[in-house]
Amino acid sequence: MSKITFLGAGSTVFAKNVLGDCLLTPALQGYEIALFDIDHQRLQDSANMLNNIKKTSGSTSIIKAYTDRKEALSGAKFVVNAIQVGGYDPCTITDFEIPKKYGLRQTIADTVGIGGIFRNLRTIPVMLDFAADIREVCPDALFLNYTNPMAVLTNVMNTYGGVNTVGLCHSVQTCVPELFKHLEIDQTGVKAKIAGINHMAWLLEVTKDGVDLYPEIKKRAAEKQKEKHKDMVRYEMMLKFGHYITESSEHNAEYHPYFIKRNYPELVDRFNIPLDEYPRRCIDQISRWKQMREDLVNDANLTHVRSHEYASYIFEAIETDVPFKIGGNVMNTGLITNLPREAVVEVPCLVDRNGVTPTYVGDLPPQLAALNRTNINTQLLTIEAAITGKREHIYHAAMLDPHTSAELSMDDIVAMCDELIEAHGKWLPAYK
């Protein structure tokens, strides 16, 4: 019996999408679906939910919840990771409130920036523990990472964990559909090429019947910018730098030095930037969980429709040898030639019985590669801090972050990092 292990299975809604998809996939019938989470109540909730879908779908897979991680991983062919270390309270609150004392405002704070740095620092040790277990009990497993910060964690698992890891993000498959819907352009027959880094990959080419659609896209985007809408940052970046970005405007507002600025507070209103957006989402999700739990966990007639999540399609392509194309986060083994080889890049990949094979992209347009490198700098210094245990590299990562360095002095950045390290306490290893 083949086995899919889901780490962080207490993420019940996400588990429904990824594992519900697997229960509906013919090539994955008879699999064991192994669930693991440190929150045993949420773990059992997810098991109950999936058993409801199993019953209504007629799946022959076996769903089993584990409280021992190594047992959950033992013999797995595929591992899916969706953990969040530290949760909303206390860690996400800390990531937002302490920087706010220094005048540094954020929107999502889960990828780069000061919030992304500290989310990485508390998550990397856990991921390396996963890697040690995987090398011992399922060394040939394919590890699919859905946890942010995507690029750093995927890099660490490949470079230091010794685990075959591909990072997966929703922003690639939703990029063109959402853009075309907002601009009221028919996307039938459209061809697109996307590459870059996670949350800052670029719509490099977009054509229909051989015709470049970018002139029409930019014309309509410029018209849209005359009134407020939810995607103003991405449109502004496209109009200034020439290409559309995969991830949302609320994310990209904090990846660059141009939008959230104390000396220009009018920019936040002008570009409709939702400061403190992620804490609001967390509070909303917590408040809605009781009803969601009733709907998902206690509904014996729960059904599921296969989602757009990549995981089940990857497993299916490997099992059947019917190729499937994804946008994946992988080590840059010369795939994007003007980005550092030690970085993780997001590029088109082909999946079949051979596994996940990335495709060659070549040079990005120079201005796009330059923007990517500003975020890669912080990513690589964050990894250096986590692996060496040196506090100075935390400072370096923060001082190289575009948004943080545009707002704060070096002394304030160091002081803020020290305060964040102290506040995180047991969630971080000791830094010297």
Q: Phi/psi at 99 (nearest 5 deg)?
A: -60, -35
Length of the chain: 432
Structure tokens at 159: 């470079």
Residue 170 annotated among the catalytic residues of the structure: yes
d(CA 154, CA 16): 23
Tell me which amino acid residue 137 is.
Answer: V
d(CA 390, CA 315): 39
SS3 content of the chain, % helix, strand, coil (to 5): 50, 15, 35
CA–CA distances in Å: residue 4 to residues 62, 83, 267, 304, 401: 10, 16, 46, 19, 37
Question: Are residues 153 and 127 in contact, defined by beta-carbon separation less than 8 angstroms?
Answer: yes
Instruction: Choose the catalytic residue: 40, 170, 393, 396.
Output: 170
Question: Are residues 63 and 50 in contact, defined by beta-carbon separation less than 8 angstroms?
Answer: yes
Structure tokens at 240: 């200034």
Question: Are residues 9 and 45 in contact, defined by beta-carbon separation less than 8 angstroms?
Answer: no
CA terminus-to-terminus distance, the chain: 47
Question: Are residues 4 and 34 in contact, defined by beta-carbon separation less than 8 angstroms?
Answer: yes
Burial (CB < 10 A; 0-12, 13-18, 19+), residue 364, is: buried
d(CA 90, CA 92): 6
**Residue 133 C-alpha from the chain's centroid:** 23
Known catalytic residues are 170
